[in-house]
């Protein structure tokens, strides 16, 4: 899960507040002291933490909470709102030029993931029906040009490169080529350095002057914490950035960059990298991330991921089976295969609201576990797969022997199946007749 350490701390503090019928000023102060420590340990900028805590406290001890029937829940709502505002309030879309192509220049230090992010953004735009061209303007890093060419071939996207030319000339020529080939986006992968220096900035300013980009996006590694914030501030002062792309957001980083970079630089986070695969790039939604950090789930992101991964007819049939309580172990295995293939299984678990850590642990399936799970299900009779309730002690022993696994593993599989059915029913209710999600605070 994104920022699992920070999320765990904050969720525990706010859980204690929600359980109280009334709150004193002392209660609020004690809770906010823990929130403050959690944010500082997550490497959030101390000035950002101070202003955030002051804003929350001012609202939490005011009339808004004291007049509420559920003051603890109202404080949680305030924390959620202020956390969302801290990261930018709402999503910021990639700008579109009045006349195509829209030029996007990606900048950053070496190792931040610019080249891969350029390809990911190309795929992201292609999935929206756009026609992007990638530009290999990093001529200094060994194999950077070839890396982008390979990624472009994989995505079936045109990649412009020119041996022996300087980055400014390459960018200028690529713009002319994009217009000629009727491409509506030009994504320029630029060179980086180990640190911010004037030579790097001069080259980037020259590229900016040559192609007049609609967007200058800084790619920063979220794992570097406050260093990412400092790098963003330096680039923004010299290039007037239009947005940020945070990479490696999927890891259990301390999270300080995502929570403080917007407020410190005034520059919006537009995209986030959530994994190593080319499809692991998402639009940044501050409210959704705030909800995930506070344990409220992110159902909208889950639905979007599922829609992209599952065929509509197949999804409709599965939903009907779930609603009619006809889900079988064969369905379970088929869905697990598909979700693991798309990488959605682990993400889906962390995006559901109200899913307890014990449930998450019970449903985690490693590659080796998955092979064992397949062997166990394939050792069952068709009747047992259709109706696992008939699997008694003697049948479990036979299945264990047939699959070469222990009886305890058979029991664990059956428990996982039952837990999955519960979660799928929960998701089905969310999609039938409108949302039925129980949030830990009133939304009105």
- Min mean pLDDT across 17-26, 27-36, 221-230 is at 17-26
Pick the CATH number of 102-293 from 3.40.50.300, 1.10.3720.10, 3.30.70.270, 3.30.910.20: 3.40.50.300
Cβ neighbours, 10 Å, residue 226 = 17
Please answer whether residues 216 and 244 qualify as being in contact, where contact means their C-beta atoms are separated by less than 8 angstroms: no
Task: Give the tens place of pLDDT for each residue, 144-176.
Answer: 999 999 999 999 999 999 988 999 999 999 999
- Min mean pLDDT across 4-13, 96-105, 379-388 is at 4-13
Please answer whether residues 58 and 21 qualify as being in contact, where contact means their C-beta atoms are separated by less than 8 angstroms: no
Residue of 350, 278, 314, 333 lying closest to 1 (CA atoms): 350
* Token code pair at residue 353: 């609201």
Partners of 160 in beta bridges: 135
Strands 159-160 vs 215-221: parallel, antiparallel or unpaired: unpaired
HSE-CB of 167 using CA atoms within 13 angstroms = 27
Please answer whether residues 250 and 274 qualify as being in contact, where contact means their C-beta atoms are separated by less than 8 angstroms: yes
- Min mean pLDDT across 89-93, 186-190, 243-247, 310-314 is at 310-314
User: Confidence band (pLDDT; 50, 70, 90) for 312?
Assistant: low
Task: Give the tens place of pLDDT for each residue, 368-378.
Answer: 777 888 899 99
> b/e string for 267-306 if b means 16 or more Cβ within 10 A?
bbbbbbbbbeeebbbbbbbbbbbbbbbbbbbbbebbeebb
Query: Does the pLDDT of residue 379 top 60, yes or no?
Result: yes
Distances (CA, A) of 313 to 214, 296, 320, 384: 40, 29, 11, 26
Query: Which helix (DSSP H) or strand (DSSP E) does residue 374 occupy?
Result: helix 367-378
User: Confidence band (pLDDT; 50, 70, 90) for 127?
Assistant: very high
Residue of 321, 242, 349 lying closest to 4 (CA atoms): 349
- For the chain, what are the domain ranges? 4-86, 102-293, 299-431
User: Confidence band (pLDDT; 50, 70, 90) for 434?
Assistant: very low
What is the mean pLDDT of the segment spanning 227-241? 90
- How far is it, in rounded angstroms, from Cα 1 to Cα 4? 5
Cβ neighbours, 10 Å, residue 9 = 18
What is the mean pLDDT of the segment spanning 402-423? 87
What is the pTM assigned to this prediction? 0.69
Higher-confidence residue: 420 or 136? Answer: 136
Confidence (pLDDT) at 172: 96
Higher-confidence residue: 113 or 298? Answer: 113
Confidence (pLDDT) at 193: 84
Given CA atoms 358, 347, 335, 409 in this order, what sign does their dihedral have?
negative
- How far is it, in rounded angstroms, from Cα 426 to Cα 323? 10
Confidence (pLDDT) at 438: 35
What is the mean pLDDT of the segment spanning 265-278? 90
* Token code pair at residue 184: 């509506």
Given CA atoms 241, 94, 253, 151 in this order, what sign does their dihedral have?
negative
Instruction: Tell me which DSSP letter residue 222 carries.
Output: G
Query: Which helix (DSSP H) or strand (DSSP E) does residue 159 occupy?
Result: strand 159-160
Cis peptide before 101 (omega within 30 of 0): yes
User: Confidence band (pLDDT; 50, 70, 90) for 67?
Assistant: low
User: Confidence band (pLDDT; 50, 70, 90) for 288?
Assistant: confident
Rounded to 10 degrees, the C-alpha dihedral 71/75/78/80 comes to: -130
Give me the residue label for tokens 């598909």. Answer: 338
Task: Give the tens place of pLDDT for each residue, 326-343.
Answer: 788 888 787 767 666 655
- CATH number assigned to the domain covering 299-431: 1.10.260.30
Cβ neighbours, 10 Å, residue 427 = 17
Architecture of domain 4-86: Up-down Bundle (1.20)
- How far is it, in rounded angstroms, from Cα 217 to Cα 441? 36
């Amino acid at each position: 899960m994104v920022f699992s350490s920070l999320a765990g701390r904050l969720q525990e503090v706010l859980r204690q507040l929600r359980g109280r019928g009334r709150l004193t000023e002392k209660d609020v102060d004690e809770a906010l002291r823990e929130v403050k420590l959690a944010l500082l340990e997550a490497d959030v900028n101390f000035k950002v933490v101070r202003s955030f805590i002051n804003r929350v406290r001012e609202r939490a001890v005011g009339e808004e909470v004291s007049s509420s029937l559920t003051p603890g829940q109202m404080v949680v709502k305030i924390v959620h709102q202020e956390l969302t505002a801290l990261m930018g309030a709402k999503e910021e879309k990639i700008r579109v030029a009045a006349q195509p192509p829209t030029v996007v220049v990606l900048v950053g230090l070496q190792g931040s993931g610019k080249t891969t992010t350029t390809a990911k953004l190309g795929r992201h735009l292609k999935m929206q029906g756009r026609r992007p061209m990638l530009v290999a303007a990093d001529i200094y890093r060994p194999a950077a040009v070839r890396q982008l060419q390979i990624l472009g071939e994989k995505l079936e996207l045109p990649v412009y490169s020119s041996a022996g030319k300087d980055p400014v000339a390459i960018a200028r020529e690529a713009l002319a080529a994009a217009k000629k080939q009727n491409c509506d986006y030009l994504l320029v992968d630029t060179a980086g350095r180990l640190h911010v220096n004037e030579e790097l900035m001069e080259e980037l300013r020259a590229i900016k002057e040559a192609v007049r980009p609609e967007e200058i996006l800084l790619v920063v590694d979220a794992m570097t914490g406050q260093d990412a914030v400092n790098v963003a501030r330096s680039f923004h002062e010299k290039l007037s950035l239009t947005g940020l792309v945070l990479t490696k957001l999927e890891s259990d980083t301390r999270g300080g960059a995502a929570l403080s970079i917007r407020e410190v630089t005034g520059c919006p986070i537009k995209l986030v990298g959530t994994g190593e695969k080319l499809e692991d790039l998402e639009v940044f939604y501050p409210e959704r991330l705030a909800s995930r950090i506070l344990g409220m789930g992110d159902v909208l992101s889950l639905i979007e991921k599922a829609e992209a991964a599952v065929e509509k007819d197949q999804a409709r049939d599965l939903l009907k089976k779930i609603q009619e309580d006809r889900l079988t172990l064969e369905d379970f295995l088929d869905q697990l295969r598909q979700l693991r293939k798309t990488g959605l299984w682990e993400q889906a678990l962390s995006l559901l609201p109200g899913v307890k850590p014990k449930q998450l642990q019970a449903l985690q399936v490693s590659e080796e576990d998955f092979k064992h799970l397949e062997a166990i299900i394939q050792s069952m009779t068709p009747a047992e797969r259709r109706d696992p309730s008939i699997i008694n002690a003697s049948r479990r022993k036979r299945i264990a022997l047939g699959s070469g696994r222990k009886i305890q593993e058979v029991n664990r599989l059956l428990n996982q199946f039952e837990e999955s059915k519960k979660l799928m029913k929960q998701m089905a209710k969310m999609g039938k007749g409108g949302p039925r999600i129980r949030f830990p605070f009133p939304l009105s």
